[in-house]
Amino acid sequence: MPPDKGEHVERTKQTSDLQITTESVEPRQVRLTINVPEERVREEMRRVARAIAREISIPGFRKGRAPYHIIAQRYGEAYLRGEAAENLIETVFKEALEQKKIEPYAPASLEEVKIEPLRYVFIVPLSPEVDLGDYRSLRIKRRTVRVTKKEVEEAIERLREEHAVLEPREGRPAQPGDVVAFSVQGRTDQGEVFLKDGDAETVVDPEKEWPLPGLHQALVGMKPGEKKTFRLKVPEEAFFDFEEAEFTVQVKQVFERLLPGLDDDLARTAGPFDSLDELREHIKEQIRQQKQQEAEDEYIEQAMQALVDGAKVVYPPQVLEEEIDEMIEDLEQRIRWDLRMSLEDYLKAIGKTEEELREEMRPRAEELLRTALVLTRFVEAEGLEVTDEEVEARVAEIQEAVEKEGRKWTPSEAELREVRNILLREKILDRLTAIARGEAEAQTEPKEKTE
């Protein structure tokens, strides 16, 4: 095994002797070709030889004193040249970037190395280009929210269901709408037990298909103490791997659900209301607020989508691969935590390769990346920023809420970054919706991107 090649001596700052050419490669990459002068290669080969001489003993020479030609005879010029090429790669790459004023957006890839004469060819990813277009003209009409009488009455009916009283009905057959307590055992057509519950309870609903269509129909007409065995077909769309099942059920009790009357007593039972009309108004307002929030969320989503759809985004392919890498890492962590499995075992279980999984993730990764790049450019264009004072104020709010629960919270650096990100997102959404409503004209004009 060759001895340690020793430390590479950094080249002092001077006018670069490299011959460099660049070629644009779509999308958003540059091919960087670097030709290294032979003199510089020979200089580095001599450094490599000196490092070898310091590490080995050669008869006839003191350690570290063996001349270059002796080292070259023992190891070969090709070896020394190869080591020199490896040593020079990082230094000449940095020099070339400085000389051509190129700022990589992600790690470059080495496309080609020619040892003699020494030449490196790199593919360097450049920063994405995002053109938001005329986003300030974006306008979206807000959906009108209204609450119907039917919606209020349906909510009141659900309230009656919640406050229903269960009355035992000894000797009466179960009817749709009754609550039935029963034991159940299900066997496959091969006799294997796949369902066993000694304390099952359900509201009898003939339309219900749990665990298979027909079981609830079988409960109808059964009395407390009655036992029944029957067979049911398994639908093709079910997740069972058998075609027919045998069930044995025994009804323990039948309860009739008695709904409270539609009157002021219901209002007083449901909450601090004196009358049914007051309850109705309260429910109507709750529904309105819920619909208003849904409409606001929908409005934000539409505005965000319109902003992203209206932008032109070009990015180097390496950035997308990094996004997929992060998604894979996140999945791997969740699998390890939730399923106690490795990613390799998980892929075997679902019958996919990692490459197939990456391709499945690609569309979502593209969507996430595009959105992130557009929002970053939007923040720049609108001059949005979060101050330290705003972060401190939000932290104080959280701490106050936590203290009311009898706990204390001191944010970590990661949590502070999360608070800052939340505040920035809030500002993004506020500004974006203001633009969509046509209320942002008086604000600062969009800023040009600074390179």
The stretch 134-151 carries a mean pLDDT of 94
221-236 per-residue burial string, b: 16 or more CB within 10 A, e: under 16 = ebebebeeeeebebee
Q: Is the peptide bond before 117 cis (omega within 30 degrees of 0)?
A: yes
Do residues 322 and 106 touch, judged by C-beta distance below 8 A?
yes
The residue ranges of every structural domain in the chain are 19-127, 165-258, 292-436
Q: Is the pLDDT of residue 3 over 50?
A: no
Q: Is the pLDDT of residue 11 over 60?
A: no
pLDDT computed for residue 444 by the predictor? 55
pLDDT computed for residue 6 by the predictor? 42
**Burial class for 118, CB neighbours closer than 10 Å (0-12, 13-18, 19+):** buried
Phi/psi-derived region of residue 314, left when phi > 0, alpha when psi is between -120 and 50, beta in every other case: beta
Would you place residue 310 in the very low, low, confident or very high pLDDT band (cuts 50, 70, 90)? very high
The stretch 416-423 carries a mean pLDDT of 96
Mean pLDDT of the chain: 91
CA distance 175 to 255: 10
Would you place residue 61 in the very low, low, confident or very high pLDDT band (cuts 50, 70, 90)? confident
Would you place residue 422 in the very low, low, confident or very high pLDDT band (cuts 50, 70, 90)? very high
Q: Which of 355, 261, 371 is nearest to 305 (CA)?
A: 371
* Residue 399 structure tokens: 């701490």
pLDDT computed for residue 10 by the predictor? 44
pLDDT computed for residue 63 by the predictor? 80
CA distance 343 to 329: 9
Mean pLDDT is lowest, of 57-71, 122-136, 338-352, for: 57-71
Would you place residue 447 in the very low, low, confident or very high pLDDT band (cuts 50, 70, 90)? low
The stretch 307-332 carries a mean pLDDT of 96
The stretch 27-38 carries a mean pLDDT of 96
Please state which CATH number belongs to domain 19-127. 3.30.70.1050
Mean pLDDT is lowest, of 61-75, 171-185, 280-294, for: 61-75
Locus of tokens 């009739």: 256
pLDDT computed for residue 8 by the predictor? 42
pLDDT computed for residue 241 by the predictor? 80
pLDDT computed for residue 448 by the predictor? 63
The stretch 243-269 carries a mean pLDDT of 94
CATH 1.10.3120.10 describes domain 292-436:
yes
Helix (H, G, I), strand (E, B) or coil at 129: strand
- One DSSP character per residue, 362-427 reads HHHHHHHHHHHHHHHHHHHHHT----HHHHHHHHHHHHHHHHHTT------HHHHHHHHHHHHHHH
pLDDT computed for residue 450 by the predictor? 55
Q: Is the pLDDT of residue 32 over 50?
A: yes
CATH class of 165-258: alpha beta
Would you place residue 339 in the very low, low, confident or very high pLDDT band (cuts 50, 70, 90)? confident
Q: Is the pLDDT of residue 9 over 50?
A: no
pLDDT computed for residue 242 by the predictor? 87
The stretch 395-409 carries a mean pLDDT of 92
**Residues above pLDDT 70, as percent of the chain:** 94
CA distance 149 to 256: 29
CA distance 317 to 336: 29
Q: Is the pLDDT of residue 363 over 50?
A: yes
Q: Is the pLDDT of residue 138 over 70?
A: yes
Do residues 341 and 404 touch, judged by C-beta distance below 8 A?
no
pLDDT computed for residue 2 by the predictor? 42
pLDDT computed for residue 239 by the predictor? 76
